[in-house]
Amino acid sequence: MTVPEPISLTEQMLRRRPVIGAPVAHGAGQDLKRTIGVLQLTMFGVGATVGTGIFFVLSQAVPKAGPSVIISFLIAGLAAGLAAICYAELASAVPVSGSTYSYAYTTLGEVMAMVVAACLLLEYGVSTAAVAVGWSQYVNKLLDNFMGFSLPAALSGAPWDADPGIINLPAMVLVGLCALLLIRGASESAKVNTVMVFIKLSVLLMFAVIAFTAFKSDRFAEFAPFGVGGIGAAAGTIFFSYIGLDAVSTAGDEVKDPQRTMPRAIIAALLTVTSVYLLVAFAAIGAQDWPEFDDQKAGLATILDKVTGAQYWGTVLAAGAVISIFSVTLVTLYGQTRILFAMGRDGLLPKMFAKVDPRSMTPVNNTIVVAIIVALMAGFVPLDYLADLVSIGTLTAFIVVAVGVILLRRREPDLPRGFRVPGYPVTPVLAILACAYILFSLRWYTWLAFALWVSVALTFYFLWGRHNSALNRPIASEAPVPGVDIIDPPRDLS
């Protein structure tokens, strides 16, 4: 119950969040039922991944690499898969459940947790905005095909877009709707997730099958117009569409026999996602000359219209995209609010982020703040800027995770881990190299924006966070309120 001694800045930056009161992860909790098998886990991975980017990433990536974008897909997939495996080990070694932020806080210390949090704001917050912009394109396409009108560019494009508008209204509306659902405590069930996976995969396969009817091998003649540099740059953009593969690893504590199940599920999800992406990319490039991809709106549906000369199939695809991107937006927006919630609880963000509204029993203030910022980004920032920012943030977070795996193996080799990376130390090192390769091919202004953003986050930490961190207070403040009983039976997921 003693107040901690004043500590130096370095100690402060490196202090780690102790594991207290956190829900027990890995094998330690007896009351947790381990119920998730390979199939269910693979569904999580595919459900979280497909739909983030594939519906619109080709319009950004193909102009950078030409037909060789197919190799970019392989590189991005490799990096994401290696990182996901590292994720699984870190998640199983750290007895807290949560996001990369919680893992970083318990293993790498406070300042790295803050850097990771800055990255995660890009991986979740900015990606929600990017996904919402893509949704708006497909909504417009659907409106056009169904009713013969579409929103004018002024209301469906960002001011600095290639086709400049004033505001992207549908994207903002989508973010608002999702926020409303989250405030009301709505969530997507495992069943809905499975249904979404089937919708996404069916429309993508439908696209591939139809697009192959217009396949011309000539279109691959000029395979890599921008050389290796182009492939790397496109991989950076494409990486966006692999985000979510790490979802597999966060469920580690519920997985039956993780050492066996985890890598199988990650590889199964990765293979499913990569093959579908490759099919889509291969079919799309075979059906349309690569320069035509440049800034195409609602790309896949438009290609179908062109291939079939009718709107029917394009409409089906647009409808599938609208439904599944909606669910992706809901899930990523949710993820963002819960990461900020954890930070508010830890005192690295104002307490308001961890405040729960008595009526809805959800973090309402938090959700509103996140929704407003994400909606503003969705409404006013063009898609390609958003997508690259998401990639750089996610890649950095992935590298931190891989480094974390190596550090933890050296520091605490005997720590029980539910899952150990196969092929250590090659796997984490390869993950770092693959992510770093993609990172360095991103454009300079993406780097600049990222550096600025991380320094803003760190400045906030040095000026505010480190003084308000919950670790500054004695642990006793976690103790129950005197005179009030909290009756909280052990929970197991059923």
Partner 1 sequence: MTVLVGYLAGKSSRAPLQLAVAAARTLKTSLTVATIVPKPWAFPSPAKVDGEFAAWADQVAADSGREAQRELEALGVPVEVQYLSHAHRSVSGGMIEVANEVGAELLVLGSSSNGQLGQVVLGSSADRLLHSSPIPVLIAPRGYRNPRGGILTRITCGYPGTPEAVDLVRRVEAIAQRLEIPMRVAVFAVLGRTMYPPEVSLHAEEAVLTEWEKQAAETLAQLRTDGVVGEDVLLQVVSGHDWGEALDDAEWEDGEILALGTSPRVGIAQVFLGTRGSKIMRVSPVPVLVLPG
Chain contacts with partner 1 (rule: CB under 8 A)? 21-23, 25, 43-45, 47-48, 91, 97-99, 124, 185-190, 192-193, 244, 246-247, 250-251, 253-254, 330-332, 334-335, 338-339, 341-342, 345, 354-356, 358-359, 361-363, 480-489, 491, 493-494
Q: How far is the CB of 184 from partner 1 (least distance, A)?
A: 10
Cα distance between residue 285 and residue 457, in whole Å: 40
Can you tell me which residue has the tokens 């990369």?
Answer: 100
Min CB(212)–partner 1 separation in Å: 30
Question: Cβ 424 to partner 1, closest distance in Å?
Answer: 24
Residue 471 · residue 17 · CB < 8 Å? yes
Q: Give the Cα separation of 436 and 430 in Å (integer).
A: 10
Nearest in space to 76 (alpha carbons), one of 342, 435, 402:
435
**Residue nearer to partner 1 on the CB measure, 366 or 441:** 366
Q: How far is the CB of 450 from partner 1 (least distance, A)?
A: 21
Of 46 and 307, nearer to partner 1 (C-beta) is 46
**For partner 1, the closer CB: 192 or 228:** 192
**Of 208 and 262, which CB lies nearer to partner 1 in the complex structure?**
262
Closest CB to partner 1 among residues 168, 250: 250
Q: Nearest distance from residue 493's CB to partner 1, in Å?
A: 6
Q: How far apart are CA 228 and CA 158, in angstroms?
A: 31
Q: How far is the CB of 336 from partner 1 (least distance, A)?
A: 9
Distance of closest approach, residue 356 Cβ to partner 1, in angstroms: 4
Shortest reach from residue 368's CB to partner 1, in Å: 15
DSSP label at residue 220 = G
Cis check for the bond before 425: say yes or no (omega within 30 of 0).
yes
Region at 267 (left for phi over 0; alpha for psi -120 to 50; beta for the rest): alpha
Locate 153 and state its tokens: 């560019």
Nearer to partner 1, 414 or 485 (CB): 485
Tokens representing residue 311 in the block: 């709107």
Say how far apart CA 159 and CA 178 lie, in whole Å: 24
Cβ contact 258:252 at 8 Å: yes
> What Cα–Cα distance (Å) separates residue 468 from each residue in 6, 110, 472?
14, 12, 7
Yes or no: say if 97 and 21 are a contact pair by the CB < 8 Å rule: no
Complex with partner 1: residue 302 or 367, whichever CB lies closer: 367
Residues near 446 by beta carbon (within 8 Å), at least 6 away in sequence: 236, 385, 388, 389, 391, 392
